[in-house]
A = this chain, B = another copy of it.
């Protein structure tokens, strides 16, 4: 018999983040945890005492299967930055008092960069006060920008969704017999992993986008329009994928040209959108052609109706691996994925010091982007392709995917 466990989810959701939650829950239960608690709205909700007993929420194997296929964070999320670690800090005292009240021995946090900052700080504080609670990070982010791990759960499904709908949108652009430009705006603030995934559309039955612009390489807007014009001399339907975080040579975001930057979140990130609309309007005006912007938007992180089986399986595995490691006495670590080979694709899990991961952003290597900065290379595709393989179909009820819904979250 093991002691009590608590698990939370933080940061932007993914289509498979609940598969990791299922992995933590099932593995903890199977390995003898006493009670598996869930915190609502991450560490912020925990501070407000929002805790549920997960065994009352997940009551059968079917619940586990539905939970895996439920998009968005089942337990809710937060964007809450813990203060710097110092002895006697009030916030940490509150957190550890609550952990003591609930007799928590193992703490799991499913999230990205910012969430690993939370695990790091809690680990450091535990060391200062001599607490022996084990803190483990479970990686998730569609952005694939976590350091050390080969890739992050959530990315493969987002890439599969982006590749699939890019193909569909490209076909849609072919129907009319006149010049038209389609600009796809894809998520990714500083790292171009998701935008690069649009290149997956290229194959025997599809040319893929004509150009791809990642945030790693600055974009000159006038050159952009000239490149579109050059493509139009060869074909009617031009399709360009660009990251929401694409930057100008002067360092500003492209979308800042369109006055659409409104607010800043708790981690100081600007809210980005409007890049594609700005560029489409510019192309329409300067090239005199029909141009449309398509924001792939929120669906990139919640389209659980088309997930990668590789991804959703790995998401479950990292949850399980975190529990196993913590139960064996590890703390202050994040589970990482280690790729053994590309073809056949083989991947194992390991654990790694969270201090080396928190707040570090992994970008697309320069050599995986072509020299002109307008496409990703074959090496990029060889890296991504295995992560989008196979499907896990939704459980359909009366024509629509069925989800597991947290009543406490619903009531707000």
Contacts and interface: CB of A to CB of B under 8 A. Distances in A.
Interface in A256-279: 262-263
A137 B48 CA distance: 62
A390 interface: yes
A278 to B, nearest CB: 13
A175 interface: yes
Contacts of A160: 399-400
B410 A168 contact: no
A387 to B, nearest CB: 8
Contacts of A409: 174-175
Contacts of A76: 174-177
Interface residues on A, range: 35 or more
Contacts of A176: 41, 76-79
A410 B174 contact: yes
Nearest to A66: B205
A120 interface: no
B298 A402 contact: no
Contacts of A396: 390-391
Interface in A293-330: 294-295, 297-299, 301-306, 308
A306 B41 CA distance: 31
A141 to B, nearest CB: 14
A274 to B, nearest CB: 10
Nearest to A303: B168
B301 A401 contact: no
Contacts of A347: none
A160 B396 CA distance: 11
Contact of A304 (B79, B168, B385, B388): B168
Contacts of A205: 402-405
Given A168-B302, A175-B409, 19 more contacts: A40-B177, A70-B171, A73-B175, A79-B176, A163-B400, A168-B299, A168-B304, A169-B298, A172-B302, A200-B399, A201-B400, A203-B398, A205-B403, A235-B412, A388-B399, A389-B399, A390-B399, A391-B393, A391-B396
Interface of A: 13, 40-41, 44-45, 70-73, 76-79, 160, 163-165, 167-169, 171-172, 174-177, 200-201, 203, 205-207, 235-237, 262-263, 284, 290, 292, 294-295, 297-299, 301-306, 308, 385, 388-391, 393, 396-405, 409-412
5 contacts: A72-B172, A72-B174, A165-B305, A236-B412, A308-B399
